[in-house]
Amino acid sequence: MTGKIVSADTNRVVIITGGSRGIGRTIGLRMADANTRIYFNYSGHDSQDAEETVKLIEDAGGSALASRVNVASQQDVQDFFKKIVEECHRVDVLVNNAGITTDGLLVRMKEEDWDRVLAINLKGAFHCIQAAAKIMMKQRAGRIINMASVVGVMGNPGQANYAASKAGLIGLTKTAARELAPRGITVNAIAPGFIDTYMTASLPDKVKEAMQAQIPLGRFGQPEDVAEVVAFLASAKASYITGQVIHVNGGMYM
């Protein structure tokens, strides 16, 4: 575990899965302020990333605690939420951002690659929503934001497992939105297009050029483009928005 929560009196508790780098890190930074406690997790791929993120959030005037948690494990997720509730007694915002890709053509895709992507991207969100909803229902308030993808609505060759996980996440979002609305909880999804992060950095230049050609705004998005929408959906200004998929893709999908 890395970081410290500076004050027990701050009034907003935000949980971000996969918050150590990329879009998740930027969401943490965007939401950091003296009144917000940020709890984020990561798989442990590189704990230096998590330490750096905690430092960046602290430098921005916020406080953060990073935990190594595998969202695919229900037990890990339950332990993670239990600790937060013991400390804060509430959860205001959950951002289900953790995600991975293991690409390959459908006919050659290994069962273990299918299972792993679905377990983290879709089942992981289910675990976290279930844990957060129990707390938010008692509060009669809460915001849940799920990180889907343009690929979940368009499909993409080589990403059958990833596209299925993100399409599933959209179905999960709409169902959770309907079930939880009577308790004052909103649930929305964001579907980013291609965003400049570690996840897209390894794509060959030819693939990147071909993708860029499909984007009317002519560029990949930045993590800040997505974090801004998360901050809005988590704010009081978005209180009448639920069950929606907000597309952040430079016009790639209309």
Positions touching ligand NAP (CB under 6 A) are: 17-24, 41-46, 49, 69-72, 97-100, 120, 147, 149, 192, 194-195, 197-200
Catalytic residues: 162
Among candidates 78, 95, 90, which has minimal Cα distance to 9?
90
Residue matched to tokens 């930074």: 29
Among candidates 244, 147, 150, which has minimal Cα distance to 193?
150
- Minimum distance from CB of 40 to ligand NAP (Å)? 8
- Minimum distance from CB of 5 to ligand NAP (Å)? 20
- Minimum distance from CB of 26 to ligand NAP (Å)? 8
Tokens of 68: 């190594």
Of residues 126 and 141, the one with the C-beta less far from ligand NAP: 126
Cα dihedral 120/74/81/182 (nearest 10): 80
- Minimum distance from CB of 155 to ligand NAP (Å)? 14
Cα atoms in the Cβ-side hemisphere of radius 13 Å centred on 78: 3
Of residues 242 and 249, the one with the C-beta less far from ligand NAP: 249
Of residues 25 and 143, the one with the C-beta less far from ligand NAP: 25
Q: How many helices (H) and strands (E) does the chain have?
A: 10, 8
- Minimum distance from CB of 106 to ligand NAP (Å)? 19
> Helices in the chain by DSSP H: which ranges?
22-31, 47-59, 74-88, 111-118, 124-139, 151-154, 160-180, 198-201, 205-213, 223-234
Helix axes 160-180, 124-139, angle to 10 degrees: 10
What does residue 205 show for φ and ψ, rounded to 5 degrees? Answer: -55, -40
Tokens of 45: 């791929």
Of residues 141 and 215, the one with the C-beta less far from ligand NAP: 215
Of residues 97 and 242, the one with the C-beta less far from ligand NAP: 97
